[in-house]
Amino acid sequence: MGTLLITIVPSIIIFCYFYFSDKFKEPKQTIAIVFALGILICFPAGVVNSFIIDNFQQDTDFSERLYSSFLTAAWVEELLKFFVLYFIVLRRSEFNEPMDGIVYGVAASLGFATYENYTYVYEWAVQIAKEENASAETFSYFVALGRSYSAVPMHGLNGAVMGYYFGMYAFSGDKKFLILSLILPYLFHGFYNFLPYPTSMIVILILAIFSLKLHRDLKNKQKLKKTEKEKIKI
């Protein structure tokens, strides 16, 4: 039970932070759809990543690490999350202000992170434990614990960055923001994968500071918008 909680609770906490700080709440049904789509894209991501890894082997450990970090997981996964925003969220009438981009970006990313976390904790960890003749329960617990402050926040905060720039693009039409909504999460994800632990935690720290700054910027704009609406009512 403890392992299961550690597997799913970090995603819930991160999402609640962004959801409840939104002054104009998004429909729960739409959020559930976007979250579910985040889960679904795990399957094509796994297929494409496996195909690339199996068919494009590298000569050295360094080139293999560089290749697998930037050209498989980071690129494939962030591109699929981007597709959810571009082909699904952008067409929804509920998507009517920049902050919505962050809420839906985080929802899609945490849908992906939650299922990915489940596979690492209950499939990959169990398999490794069997090979090492170790306790699967104990190994799964520590994998879940480790990912709770690393991979899960990386996905969630990356979703906020993607959503911020996507929202800015949607309501300005400036394609510079569209490019940034894909490139920045890709770079954060790639460097997180490439750098060894605990150095990779520097990426999480930078990502946290950056994403929360972007989020605060939109929160301030929302406060101003809400104040203006209240003045009009008066």
Every domain of the chain and the residues it spans:
2-222
**Tens digit of each residue's pLDDT (9 = 90 or more) over 116-151:** 999 999 999 999 999 999 999 999 999 999 999 999
pLDDT bin (cut points 50, 70, 90) of residue 56 is confident
Measuring CA to CA, how many Å separate 6 from each of 37, 127, 179, 181, 199? 22, 19, 34, 29, 23
With 90 as the cut, is the pLDDT of residue 186 above it? Answer: yes
Q: How far apart are CA 189 and CA 79, in angstroms?
A: 11
Read out DSSP for 92-160?
A: -TT--SHHHHHHHHHHHHHHHHHHHHHHIIIIIHHHHHHHTT--HHHHHHHHHHHHHTTHHHHHHHHHH
Asked whether the beta carbons of 122 and 140 are under 8 A apart, the reply is yes
| pTM, rounded to two decimals | 0.94
With 80 as the cut, is the pLDDT of residue 232 above it? Answer: no
Q: What is the mean pLDDT of the chain?
A: 93
pLDDT confidence of residue 233 = 61
